[in-house]
Amino acid sequence: MDDRTVLISGAGIAGPALAFWLRRYGFRPTVVERAPGPRPGGQAVDVRGTAREVVDRMGLTARVRAECVAEHGMAYVSARGEVTWRMPVHAFAGEGIVAEIEIERGDLARLLYEETRDGVEYLFDDSIETLTETGDGVRVTFERAAPRTVDLVVGADGMHSRTRALAFGPESAYVRPLGAYLAYFGTPYPDDDGWFLMHNAPGGRVVGTRPTRHGRTSALFSFVSPPLGLDRRDVAGQRRLLAERFADVGWRTRELLAVMADAPDFYFDLYGQVRADRWSAGRVALLGDAAWCPSPLTGQGTSLSLVGAYVLAGELAAAGGDHTVAYRRYEEVLRTHVRRGQEVPGGGISGFLPASRAAIRLRDASMRAMTSRPLRRLTTRLFFSQADGLPLPEYAVTG
């Protein structure tokens, strides 16, 4: 086999990263994306552990670091804005932790797009409608573009993957809700202290502000809830729900809710994980959140996407384009690493969103203890070690 044309659904992080490596190995990738262009904004994401080595092999470390968010660390605040616990970014200096790369998701997506737009076909404002596997390829129809037949298809289109639904089955078989929702959006308020600030309120709620590279802050809202059955396209309904859930919360909540309606990058979704017992079906493979979404609680989503893209492209190159061999090796190399990356630290949802005032005080006390010198080694293993531990294979450039 010599499968060389690869259609990738999704132009977030995983899709363009895969296109980067496929182009280097002589494949002909096409990326289709529902949005009209690279999506701007979004929360800061971490590039950790093995993923830093992937970025280095891409030759992009300097560019990525130049666009990093200058964040001093994370702190919890009371309703009056008093700091109750603080963890500087260098809290674990000397514990074997290399400084993390923290970059806004939109900036990283744009950078990857800029690195791949020459030599990679991008179909923006479009999406896959149907997939039909034939004897020698996959016949694909689109919402806008003309149908075509490609050798391989890769779904890198997120937790709610359309590709996965078409080739593997309904979302309910793969997405596991974790019992909470999150929202974030950019604000016009300037950043004045460089800290990621969060305020917990009883009822399993948190509101936060985070500095951006552009001198402003982004807002974060999360709350405990069973699945609500909301229409993902009903943005107005999502905003109303958020305003109702946080109407009585103090700190800066009122002013943040006041600018929510005008935020063009408003995002709302459930906390969930994707669990799939296989990442390929015939000529179709899954990558990133579509295959293994670990949830934002882990801080591993971007790192796993970058590592996964590197391995999938490398195995396709090593197998000479034979997807039957490459897809099997892709899973063999990554399964254990992904499983570790999906581990939710720090008490999971209940640790992040304590239900009562007493639980909030207990969480703050435990976090202060975990960042104290006697327990730093344990905390390092709990929060950072999942990103390491995968020796990256070396793949020869054959294209």
Q: Domains of the chain, with CATH numbers?
A: 5-70+99-173+274-345 (3.50.50.60)
Nearest CA among 84, 166, 151 for reference residue 320: 151
pLDDT at 95 over 50: no
Rounded-to-integer distance, Cα 218 and Cα 196, Å: 10
C-alpha to C-alpha distance for 127 and 144, rounded to whole angstroms: 8
Write the CA distances from 177 to 42, 43, 63, 229, 270, integer angstroms: 21, 20, 35, 11, 7
Neighbours of 117 (CB within 10 A): 14
The model's pLDDT over 5-40, given as tens digits with 9 standing for 90+, comes to 999 999 999 999 999 999 999 999 999 999 999 988
- Give the lowest-confidence range in 59-63, 132-136, 153-157: 132-136
Give the end-to-end CA distance of the chain in Å, rounded to a whole number.
16
When pLDDT is averaged across residues 263-269 and rounded to a whole number, the result is 94
pLDDT above 50: residue 42:
yes
Distance CA 176, CA 295 (A): 10
Query: How many C-beta neighbours within 10 Å does residue 358 have?
Result: 10
Residue that is written with structure tokens 């494949």 in the block: 27
DSSP letters along 294-341, please?
Answer: --GGGT-HHHHHHHHHHHHHHHHHHTTT-HHHHHHHHHHHHHHHHHHH
Tens digit of each residue's pLDDT (9 = 90 or more) over 350-359:
989 999 999 9
Q: Which two tokens stand for residue 169?
A: 């089955």
What's the CA gap between 328 and 254, in Å, rounded?
51
pLDDT at 376: 52
Give the mean pLDDT of 58-63.
96
Mean of the pLDDT values across residues 153-161?
98
- pLDDT score for 373: 59
Choice between 382 and 335, residue whose per-residue pLDDT is larger? 335
Reported as a single tens digit per residue, the pLDDT across 182-203 is 999 999 999 878 899 999 999 9
Q: Which of 308, 318, 282 is nearest to 399 (CA)?
A: 318
What is the structure's pLDDT at 384?
53
Residues recorded for the chain: 399
Tell which residue, 60, 37, 54, 49, has the closest CA to residue 307: 54
DSSP string, 111-174: HHHHHHTTTSEEEES--EEEEEE-SSSEEEEESSSPPEEESEEEE-S-TT-HHHHHHT--GGGT
Strands (DSSP E) contained in 34-82 are 44-47, 73-77
CB 45, CB 387: distance < 8 Å:
no
For a pLDDT cut of 90, what percent of the chain falls above it? 74
Provide the pLDDT for residue 200.
96
pLDDT band of residue 347 (cuts 50, 70, 90) is: confident
| Burial status of residue 275 (CB atoms within 10 A of its CB: 0-12, 13-18, 19 or more) | middle
Specify the pLDDT at position 125. 98
Across the range 366-389, mean pLDDT stands at 60
Q: Is the pLDDT of residue 154 over 60?
A: yes
Query: Under a CB-based contact definition with an 8 Å cutoff, are residues 125 and 103 in contact?
Result: no
Q: Is the pLDDT of residue 71 over 90?
A: no
Question: What is the tens place of the pLDDT at every residue in 275-317?
Answer: 999 999 999 999 999 999 999 999 899 999 999 999 999 999 9
Sign of the torsion formed by the C-alpha atoms of 301, 95, 394 and 331: negative
pLDDT band at residue 93 under the 50/70/90 scheme: very low
Q: Taking 70 as the threshold, does the pLDDT of residue 99 lie above it?
A: no
| pLDDT tops 60 at residue 1 | no
What are the beta bridge partners of residue 281? 284
Q: How far is CA 175 from CA 7, 160, 348, in A?
A: 24, 8, 17
Q: 378 pLDDT band (50/70/90 cuts)?
A: low
Nearest residue to 274 (alpha-carbon basis) of 333, 340, 342, 180: 342
Sign of the Cα pseudo-torsion (153, 155, 161, 167, in order): positive
- Report the chain's mean pLDDT, rounded to a whole number: 90
Per-residue pLDDT band at 96 (split at 50, 70, 90): very low
Position 371 confidence tier, pLDDT thresholds 50, 70, 90 = low
* Whether pLDDT at 52 is above 90: yes
